[in-house]
């Protein structure tokens, strides 16, 4: 079965960057955190940029689950949970360090 547009875009990004799927999730999470903090004009200790990363990660995985259902007939829940954890790991670490003032002291 032919991949969806979302999967084709992801495959193109993977091919262009030559990153693995896990690395792509890590970089996407960090980029989303920093860009959302910049656009929203919020410090990294604010929950809002982290929540934005969470929303983007969940939305992307919902698209993946839909694509899996359409192409294979079964969603891959474990793979989606793995991807969300990869996407959120470093943004969560940065948020926690910023809360503890161990990072970005004022």
What count of Cα atoms within 13 Å lies in the side-chain half-sphere of residue 23? 7
Write down the mean pLDDT value for the chain: 88
Give the 3-state secondary structure of residue 31: helix
Q: What gap in Å lies between CA 95 and CA 83, rounded to an integer?
A: 19
What pLDDT sits at residue 105? Answer: 58
CA 7, 21, 50, 78 dihedral sign is positive
pLDDT digits (tens, 9 = 90+) for 3-42: 677 777 888 888 888 888 889 999 999 999 999 999 999 9
The answer to whether 76 and 68 have CB atoms below 8 angstroms apart is yes
The answer to whether 27 and 34 have CB atoms below 8 angstroms apart is no
Centre a 10 Å sphere on the Cβ of residue 61 and count the other Cβ atoms it contains: 21
Indicate the domain borders of the chain: 43-101
| Single pTM value for the model | 0.85
């Amino acid at each position: 079965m032919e991949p969806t547009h979302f999967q084709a875009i992801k495959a193109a990004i993977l091919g262009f960057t030559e990153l693995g799927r896990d690395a792509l999730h890590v970089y996407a999470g960090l980029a989303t955190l920093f860009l959302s903090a910049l656009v929203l004009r919020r410090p990294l200790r604010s929950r809002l940029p982290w929540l934005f990363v969470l929303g983007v990660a969940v939305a992307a995985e919902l698209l993946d689950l839909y694509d899996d259902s359409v192409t294979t007939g079964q969603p891959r829940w474990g793979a989606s949970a793995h991807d969300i954890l990869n996407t959120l790991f470093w943004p969560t670490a940065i948020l926690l360090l910023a809360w503890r003032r161990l990072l970005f002291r004022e």
